Each structure stands twice: as C-alpha cells, then as structure tokens.
C-alpha cells in the first residue's frame, strides 16, 4: 500500500475536569473558534511529536485554560470520524480522531497567561447546560467523555505507555 493511501488518524488528547456544585458537578470547557463557528470542547488538542499522551494533555490544558492540570486517571481511548463538505475554497475532509482522554484537577488560572490562539474563553457548565448546548459541541466525544466520567470510569494512568523512542527515535538502515 502506498503511503498516500495509508489510514492516518489524528491523535488528540483531552481532559475532563469537574468541580462540585450544589447537587451535581460542573465541567470545565473551552469555547473555541472553528471553521464551523464557535464550538464547545473539553480542553483538548493534537498530540505533538516527542511527547507522551500524558505530557500532551497537561500541555493542552495549560495552553487552553491557563491552568496547571494534574491528571489522576485515564477515562478511555475514543475514536470518532467526521466529514466536512467543501466550501469557501476549502477542500472536503474526511477525518478520524483517536482521542486519549484523562480526568484530573486544575489550579487557578495563571495571572497574565494568554489562552491559546482560537480559544475565546473558558467556562464551567453543569450537566443540564451541556445537554442543552449539544448542538455546539465540537464533536460527540465532548459529551461521551463526560458521560464516562459521570459513570465513574477511571483507569490507571500507566495503561498508556510511551516508549523512549517517542523522544529519541531508533535509527534504522
């Protein structure tokens, strides 16, 4: 199979961060600019070369919320796919994401730290508010990860391993 025909999903990391509120929990989301307009998402982003998923989620939460993230558990590994139609000079896209989602806690936002480009703001929403804004979620995985969190799903952090070759690749002739 040629390299241009090989399936290459995009690997992303995400964080589900909850805080108690009267009778329920609130979840930390980001409102971000996308091609489809303003969307709500868990703090999330693409895994960068040379980092483990755990390192990636800590970096993404800091970039998107200005808060230090302390992961405590893995929620799961999720796949989703979407197709974007061609418009405005953009080609059509068929994208599959592999999302590695964690849960944990955050501190207060760092004073003076700017949010990542495209992030408009952070907000805390209760579950009913999440359901009411489902049409604005960046993907169906936003709610799916939160539902798994609410169901008590927690896996050990060391389930996902990153070999040392992620940082220093093997050289093969």
CATH of the domain at 56: 3.90.79.10
Question: What is the pLDDT at residue 24?
Answer: 87
Question: What is the pLDDT at residue 155?
Answer: 98
Domain extent for 50: 3-84+94-157
Question: What is the pLDDT at residue 7?
Answer: 86
CB-neighbour burial class of residue 36 (10 A; exposed 0-12, middle 13-18, buried 19+): exposed
Question: What is the pLDDT at residue 2?
Answer: 61
DSSP-derived 3-state class of residue 100: strand
DSSP 135: G
Question: What is the pLDDT at residue 105?
Answer: 97
Residue 166, in any domain of the structure: no
Residue 169, in any domain of the structure: no
Residue 32, in any domain of the structure: yes
State the pTM of this model: 0.91
Residue 172, in any domain of the structure: no
DSSP 7: -
Question: What is the pLDDT at residue 89?
Answer: 84
For the chain, 173 residues long, give each residue's pLDDT as a single digit of tens: 566 778 889 999 999 999 998 888 999 999 999 988 999 999 999 999 999 999 999 999 999 999 999 999 999 999 999 888 887 888 888 889 999 999 999 999 999 999 999 999 999 999 999 999 999 999 999 999 999 999 999 999 999 999 999 988 888 87
Overall domain count for the chain? 1
Residue 173, in any domain of the structure: no
Question: What is the pLDDT at residue 95?
Answer: 86
Residue 89, in any domain of the structure: no
Q: Report d(CA 166, CA 26) in Å as an integer.
A: 35
Residue 128, in any domain of the structure: yes
Q: How many CB atoms lie within 10 A of CB 109?
A: 14
DSSP-derived 3-state class of residue 70: strand
Q: Report d(CA 38, CA 163) in Å as an integer.
A: 37
Residue 34, in any domain of the structure: yes
């Amino acid at each position: 199979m040629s390299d241009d025909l090989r399936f290459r999903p995009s690997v992303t990391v995400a964080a589900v961060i909850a805080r108690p509120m009267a009778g329920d929990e609130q979840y930390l989301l980001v409102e971000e600019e996308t091609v489809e307009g303003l969307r709500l998402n868990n703090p999330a982003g693409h895994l960068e070369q040379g980092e483990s998923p755990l390192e990636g989620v800590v970096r993404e939460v800091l970039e998107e919320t200005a808060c230090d993230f302390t992961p405590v558990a893995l929620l799961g590994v999720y796949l989703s796919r979407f197709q974007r139609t061609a418009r405005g000079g953009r080609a059509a896209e068929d994208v599959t994401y592999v999302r590695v989602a964690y849960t944990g806690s955050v501190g207060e936002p760092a004073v003076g730290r700017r949010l990542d480009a495209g992030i408009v703001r952070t907000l805390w929403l209760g579950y009913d508010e999440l359901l009411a804004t489902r049409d604005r979620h960046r993907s169906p995985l936003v709610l799916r990860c939160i539902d798994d969190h609410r169901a008590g799903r927690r896996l050990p952090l060391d389930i996902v391993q990153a070999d040392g070759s992620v940082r220093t690749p093997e050289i093969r002739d």
